[in-house]
Structure 1
């Protein structure tokens, strides 16, 4: 069974619900016609029509889950953010991604700023002091914060990939178990209880300690990073996930249990989306309130004119 066949399986679910209900009432189908049990001939048409009315439309409970975002559709965005992280990774050995805990090695181009700093040691003048104090000195903090911000975005995308991977897997599992339960109802097969965990519940975690380089007056600032748990279904910690059950009882009981399972899944999806959105919202607040921590200042020389560029307020002198 595949998620891409969910619409087809929802139609089958409705059909089996009708059939299971009629069989439970003693009807048998042959040659495309329902045959009533002995003694119910006079009311047969009414019972069949009533049963069809009762279950017609139950397939629509799966409709909200058609067209869930495809994990592969987000992969390119994640890879682009990951590539940008690599270009902003500086320091001795690089930076550790706060969401994945993966070490991203230092980019040699970005680390070239240390050579620039060495070359500037003998430069004197207003522009020189401005460049050293307001550009070179905060450079490591600014790049580290930009790296962390990218980690927030990449972590959110990775979390979305995990979320929708498990959401598709879970709704497919619900459809599969519901069909199996209906097929074992009404005298066909042995009814049995099927219990499974909503693995979407464990697909996302939040890291609330992604520190950013700040001034002494703002040492408490952090970014909340949403991350993804293991992608493989077997690796997701199921003991933390809510359990839902579908058994082979009555047709109506199975329809109700299936609806409850789908509602539980929708709730878990909403909860995980809220986690991701919260992390991004908190990050936005930090960035918009402290733009100086994420943006290098405009170099003093950029605003000099042809008249001032060669003065002490411009290029100054090289000792």
Structure 2
């Protein structure tokens, strides 16, 4: 069975449930155009209508899942974030803290630190602040930006994994339901187990440091990062997979168990989304609270005028 055929599966479930329920209750199908008419049994038409009504919601239960995001749609954004991390790789943290992937150092970033020796002749307050607030802290700020970008990429990986597993899990719900409807009346109890992988596909990585050193803040800030469980190789605590057991010997009970499975899938998606959202809120709060750890200070030279640009506050004068 394929996820692309989910709505076809839903209609097959509805038809199978109706057929099974009619057989259980001794209700015949209504005569089709061209078939010889027959006299309905007492209450047969009403019973048939009740059966159709009982299972009328089956396709609509699966319809929202058919419109879930395509996991492949995240690939372009993931590639863009990887490109950003390539630009931000300063060498102080060569590995992605979420996945452990290694990024080559962007040698262009070394040129900022190399400018310090050329600025020895720049005197005054402007020169001192440029060296201490921009050049000296540049590597730490870029490293923090690299980690922030890694957290965003991890969140996208987690989203991709969540929807990939959500599609697989709901397809399994449909498959198991069809199998259960087919197995009714066989020897033995009609039981099946669903293993949920949606939340388990999102791995939580706690306390990823936002600074390789503490030059910008007395103590390094921290966030919680997430990523796809299959990608995360840093220390992490995985959410265990969940199992739900179902059973049913009548069409009504099997479909009720299916509804329970659909509700479970929705709950799993919501839980995974909440985990990812919590991580992003934490990252946003850390950046908002410690903006100076991610963005270099505004250059004082921007406030200079032609008449003041050579004052000690700005360019100063050469020694």
- TM bucket, shorter chain: 0.7 to 0.9
What is the TM-score with the length of structure 1 in the denominator? 0.85
Q: Distance in 2 between matches of 1:122 and 1:205?
A: 51
- Which stretch of the first structure deviates more once superposed, 164-173 or 290-299? 290-299
Please give the secondary structure, in 2, of the residue aligned with 1:100. coil
Listed as ranges, the gaps of 5+ residues in structure 1 are 34-39, 232-236
Please give the secondary structure, in 2, of the residue aligned with 1:305. coil
Q: After superposition, what is the alpha-carbon deviation per residue over 1:105-162, rounded to whole angstroms, capped at 9, x for unaligned?
A: 2111112223222333444333221210111111111111111111121111111001
Q: Distance in 1 between matches of 2:304 and 2:24?
A: 89
Do the aligned partners of 1:177 and 1:246 also contact (CA within 8 Å) in 2?
no
Do the aligned partners of 2:81 and 2:153 also contact (CA within 8 Å) in 1?
yes
TM-superposed CA distance for 1:69, in Å, is 1.3
Do the aligned partners of 1:205 and 1:228 also contact (CA within 8 Å) in 2?
yes
Flag the 1:304–1:163 CA change in 2: closer, same or farther, 3 A. Answer: same
Query: Does the alignment pair 1:160 with 2:173?
Result: no
What is the TM-score with the length of structure 2 in the denominator? 0.85
Do the aligned partners of 1:20 and 1:251 also contact (CA within 8 Å) in 2?
yes
- Which stretch of the first structure deviates more once superposed, 192-201 or 16-25? 192-201
Do the aligned partners of 2:204 and 2:238 also contact (CA within 8 Å) in 1?
no
Do the aligned partners of 1:197 and 1:242 also contact (CA within 8 Å) in 2?
yes
Q: Distance in 1 between matches of 2:77 and 2:181?
A: 41
Flag the 1:133–1:172 CA change in 2: closer, same or farther, 3 A. Answer: same
Q: Distance in 1 between matches of 2:14 and 2:141?
A: 58
Please give the secondary structure, in 2, of the residue aligned with 1:140. helix
Please give the secondary structure, in 1, of the residue aligned with 2:198. helix
Query: Does the alignment pair 1:224 with 2:215?
Result: no
Equivalent residue for 1:234? none
Q: Distance in 2 between matches of 1:254 and 1:215?
A: 62
Please give the secondary structure, in 1, of the residue aligned with 2:84. helix
Please give the secondary structure, in 1, of the residue aligned with 2:206. strand
TM-superposed CA distance for 1:88, in Å, is 0.6
Q: Distance in 2 between matches of 1:238 and 1:129?
A: 48
TM-superposed CA distance for 1:49, in Å, is 2.9
Equivalent residue for 2:262? 262
Please give the secondary structure, in 2, of the residue aligned with 1:225. strand
Query: Does the alignment pair 1:210 with 2:201?
Result: no
Equivalent residue for 1:53? 53
Superposition CA RMSD, Å: 2.9
Aligned residues: 306
Q: Distance in 1 between matches of 2:238 and 2:194?
A: 9
